[in-house]
Amino acid sequence: GKPILEVNNLRVSFKMYAGEVQAVRGVSFTVNKGEVLAIVGESGCGKSVTAQTIMRLVPSPPSMIKEGSSILFDGKHEIAKMNESQMQHIRGQEMGMIFQDPMTSLNPTKTVGAQISEGILKHQKVSKVEGLKRAAELLTLVGMSNAQERIHQYPHELSGGMRQRVMIALSLACNPKLLIADEPTTALDVTIQAQIIDLLRDIQEKTETSIILITHDLGVVAEMAHKVIVMYAGKVVERGTLDDIFYNPRHPYTWGLLRSVPRLDSDKNNELASIPGTPPDLYSPPVGCAFAARCPYAMKVCKEIDPEHFEVSADHSAACWLNHPDAPEVEMPVGIGR
């Protein structure tokens, strides 16, 4: 497919009293039409800031999109340079966003039908009646039975899973070309998570909407994504197809992520606990590889020079010195890779 989104050297900083936090440090990736790209990494890695910057939802100040950053949408809109009124058009008409907690984005004082049809009426010339009819159709599409009655309900009358379905219906109201889903299932319990993922995958296949899926949950990634980028300390450390990342990962941080996939018997909040240490301070990022302090394979060069991406194949690359042709051979940890 043709690209729907081309992010090039995106850098985003936050101006704080203590200095500048470099939250996103030169991120590049492409999402093609009809494709699901997952962005994975620990909290604080810059994945949510990246997603929210694509929607221009990060308030500026304190955030700043640095000079040289480009977010090209649909081959013609330079998101990085848009003003708020241009962005409102894009957000309502071309991009949709699904957040972790639907309660923060649904209006508690309006029925779900009113909210969804408002989204429709804002951008399409249809009557109120037609808007409500379409709202009910969308609720049916997202798997809510009795849509005719549901449209008259308020968010607090619905369960968490139902609210997330409403949120998805709302995000689909404008037939977006790109959906951004930031931890769409994290707040839900396990059975409901699986249902919502099935729903998203169904809708994606039916509508061929492109999706950027932000998650720390590699189980969700495996269910839905075509391509994956792994972020660490504001940078992309590995990019590849789903198979590349799961079966031939080439960055020790990706190995750590894969090893820390929560098991059924473990505490679900124990996110990525098996990678010891913490990410670096992004007020003053390290000179060399940002993962060096936590990496069991770190070499002298790692602490001195930040590795560029080494290409593994056309779709697959990793920013790690172990992929240099002169690097020593290391064994992947047990249980990782093919």
Task: Return the number of the residue (10 or 275) whose C-beta is nearest ligand SF4.
Answer: 275
Burial class (CB in 10 A: 0-12, 13-18, 19+), 330: exposed
**Does 291 help bind ligand SF4 (rule: CB under 6 A)?**
yes
**Does 275 help bind ligand SF4 (rule: CB under 6 A)?**
no
Burial class (CB in 10 A: 0-12, 13-18, 19+), 189: exposed
Binding to ligand SF4 in span 314-333, by CB under 6 A? 320-322
**Does 249 help bind ligand SF4 (rule: CB under 6 A)?**
no
**Does 280 help bind ligand SF4 (rule: CB under 6 A)?**
no
R_g over Cα of the chain = 21
Count of alpha carbons within 13 angstroms of residue 114, beta-carbon side: 10
Task: Return the number of the residue (48 or 204) whose C-beta is nearest Mg ion.
Answer: 48
Core vs surface per residue 69-108: b (16+ CB within 10 A) or e:
bebbbbeebebbebeeeebeebbbebbbbbbbbbeebbee
Residue nearest to Mg ion (CB): 48
Write phi, then psi, for 252 (nearest 5 degrees). -55, -30
**Does 307 help bind ligand SF4 (rule: CB under 6 A)?**
yes
**Does 298 help bind ligand SF4 (rule: CB under 6 A)?**
yes
* Candidate list 13, 22, 48, 52; residue touching Mg ion; CB under 5 A: 48
Task: Return the number of the residue (56 or 77) whose C-beta is nearest Mg ion.
Answer: 56
Q: Are 333 and 254 in contact (CB under 8 A)?
A: no
Which of ligand SF4, Mg ion, none does residue 307 bind (CB under 5 to 8 Å by kind)? ligand SF4
Non-local (6+) Cβ contacts of 68 within 8 A are 9, 11
Which of ligand SF4, Mg ion, none does residue 48 bind (CB under 5 to 8 Å by kind)? Mg ion
Write out the residues near ligand SF4 by the rule CB under 6 A. Answer: 251-252, 289, 291-292, 295, 297-299, 302, 307, 320-322
